[in-house]
Structure 1
Amino acid sequence: MRDRLRRYFLEQPRPAAVFQVAPSYFAALKTGEEAEITSDDYVYFPVPTGLVEAQLNQKNIVQPGLLQDLVGKAWRKFRPRGHSVTLILPEMSARVFIFHLESNSLSPAEQVQFIEWRLAHQLSRSLDQVRYSYQTFNAGGERKVLVVCTGQEVAGEYEALFQEHKLKPGKLTIPSLSVLNLIARSGALAGDFLLVDADLDYLSLIGVLDGAPYLYRQKQLWPDNESNRAAILKETENTVHFIEDKARKKLAAVYLRSNLENPVWLLTEMEKLLGLEVKEVMSEKQFLAPLIGGQ
């Protein structure tokens, strides 16, 4: 099961560093073989409200110069070998879909045609203005495809932040997929589980059955307050019930990555509400989880 998830999301060359741009913060991690991450290996900078507006179809960055300065500051601190970087976009600047393929015997060209036909029905703009990547996989005897997409203009403006410093953005991804990578890499996967990824501006829920993605939900949250934490609990409860009712399977566990205040409270309340084991993805410095998973 772990190897299957690795094939979907982890077969990428290791970059020199991983950068994340979010509406409320900028973070980066120097990659390496060291088992322990120290404060010399990462940066975390809060950014002013309104500097980054996570949107799929419109430009996101209001003042690129401020973010370019942070990229340069992080790079001077890390001084890594190589110039390739992985870039984690804001979660709500992208969309994730899981489609059932019409046939198990589609050629690569036919798969692309099918994916673009489905995307055209999901998105409100020309596919000429969309950048997407996909991975096919088998799930319960069916052939499915996971598609991640964002606007060409959106991807281009984030890449430009790094090209200014002669860095080479390779893989573009999103936080929730990177957190899923981290879980897969840890070898601690339950067979059927739900990942709850709650950050300052979004909630993403990824259902995994028999080691394959089953459901993907993304919801915008802002700001971190009591009503949003209640909404996280309700969305999680509804999603668990939906998966268990539709798939007729009991989930083994919930994995929780929370970058909100008081994550222990959220974990405790979630366990009481769901009657399931809830496992923290990281107990400290949870903002590092997407960066580690993005390596």
Structure 2
Amino acid sequence: MEKKIKKGLEKLHLSDNKIACLIPELSLKAFVFSFDSLPSSREQRERIIRFRVKKQIPLLPDDARFSFDRLSSNSSAKIFVAVARASIIQEYEDLFSKLHLKVRAIGVPTLSLYYLLNKEEERDLLLINIEEDSLSLIAGLNSEVAVYRLKQFIPGSLTNLSGLQKVENIVKEVENTVNFVEDKEKKKVNSFRLRLGLLEPEEEMFSQLKEKLSLPAKGIEAGLTSKLGLREKMILSPLVGQIL
């Protein structure tokens, strides 16, 4: 990985050594919490959020580090919380330190993708992020993040299955999530936004997913206006969302 990053840096000609880092979603736990209100003191907020996290993760590691984003909400204080072990984050910080880079911000890829969306035009949707090892989903209802889910793929499962089997497995998870969201939130999902973050391009998979999903779907790259190619937009879109 270090060699690949170094090679990429040579092409970028960065003028600053500060970077944003998106760590794999399987390396962390993430939750969406709603509160009637939150105290203005950061210390008190963190204490309340930690209490909510411990209800979800009773055996919370002592070295757990928290990152939380306050999401726009009309009716309550809504927080997206990411929890990761300090040792995992340190691995990434050490890697970039060797390359004379300083990690300024650490983010969650799927949440960063959500920042790319036009919330006024796409008020009730499900964002689908397909990686080599996982499927992540964010439901946005009334232009607010309502639900986050993460499904780990069995190692090698996408590689060993036929193209159609891959699509059917993903569609099943997506439709289950839609049913869960609509039952929980009492509101309909109207469309899908889709990203294929796979190392090997699978254009046919994208077409099959659009065909088999029960609602209209379009790629996340549709909202990017940069001169990058389609493949680059698919791969880099989470990072673009993080730095916007």
Q: 1:281 aligns with which of 211, 215, 220?
A: 220
Secondary structure at the aligned position of 2:116 is classed as: helix
1:251 matched residue in structure 2: 189
Q: CA RMSD in A?
A: 2.3
Tell me the residue number matched to 1:262. Answer: 202
CA distance in 2, matches of 1:87, 1:216: 20
- Scaled by the length of structure 1, what TM-score is found? 0.69
Of stretches 249-258 and 156-165 in structure 1, the one that deviates more from structure 2 is 249-258
Q: Please give the per-residue CA displacement for 1:249-276, whole angstroms capped at 9, x wherever unaligned.
A: 22221101113453454454445441x2
Q: What fraction of aligned residue pairs are identical, expressed as a percent? A: 29
Partner-residue secondary structure (3-state), 1:243: helix
Deviation at 1:288, TM superposition (A): 2.1
- The alpha-carbon distance between structure 1 residues 244 and 271, as it changes in their structure 2 partners (threshold 3 A), is farther
- Provide Cα deviations, 1:44-67, integer angstroms capped at 9, x if missing partner: xxxxxxxxxxxxxxxxxxxxxxx3
The match for 1:197 among 129, 132, 144 is 129
Contact kept in structure 2, 1:255 and 1:278, CA below 8 Å = yes
CA contact (8 A) 1:198 1:259 kept: yes
Distance 1:266 1:237 in 2: 16
Instruction: Give the corresponding residue for 1:106.
Output: 39
Deviates most, 261-270 or 115-124: 261-270
Residues 95-174 of structure 1: pairs in structure 2 closer than 5 A: 95-101=29-35, 103-108=36-41, 109-123=43-57, 125-137=59-71, 139=73, 141-174=75-108
Q: How many residues matched?
A: 225
Change (3 A) 1:171 1:104: same
Measured in 1, the distance between the counterparts of 2:188 and 2:72 equals 20
**Measured at CA, do residues 268 and 152 of structure 1 come closer, stay the same or move farther in structure 2, by a change above 3 Å?**
same
Matched with 2:225 is none
Q: Distance in 2 between matches of 1:174 and 1:135?
A: 10
Is the partner of 1:250 in helix, strand or coil? coil
In structure 2, relative to structure 1, the CA distance for the partners of 1:247 and 1:123 (3 Å cut) is closer
Does the CA contact (< 8 Å) of 2:124 and 2:190 recur in 1? yes
1:242 and 1:111 mapped to 2: Cα distance? Answer: 29
Partner SS state of residue 249, structure 1: coil
Q: Is the 8 A contact 1:139 1:210 kept in 2?
A: no
Query: How far has the Cα of 1:182 moved from its partner?
Result: 2.4
Residues 144-184 of structure 1, C-alpha deviations (whole Å, 9 max, x = no match)? 22101111000001110111122111111122122222224
Give the structure with the larger helix fraction. 2
1:195 counterpart SS class: strand
Query: Distance between the aligned counterparts of 2:203 and 2:50, measured in 1?
Result: 39
Give the match's secondary structure for 2:115. Answer: helix
Q: 1:194 to 1:202 in 2, by over 3 A?
A: same
Structure 1 gaps, min length 5:
1-66
Paired residue for 2:227?
Answer: none
Change (3 A) 1:263 1:197: farther
Say if 1:195 and 1:254, in contact at 8 Å, map to a contact too.
yes
State the shift of 1:68 in Å. Answer: 2.6
TM score, norm. by length of structure 2: 0.82
CA distance in 1, matches of 2:13, 2:213: 46
Residue 138 (structure 1) shift: 5.3
Return 5+ residue gaps in structure 2 as ranges: 223-229
Q: Kindly report which structure 2 residues correspond to 1:9-48, keeping only aligned pairs within 5 A, or say none.
A: none
Of residues 212, 221, 238 in structure 2, which corresponds to 1:290? 238
Correspondence for 2:142 among 185, 198, 210 = 210
d(CA) in 1 for partners of 2:58, 2:216 = 39
Q: What's the CA shift for 1:279? A: 1.2
Deviates more, 1:155-164 or 1:247-256: 247-256
Aligned to 2:117, the other structure's residue is in SS state helix
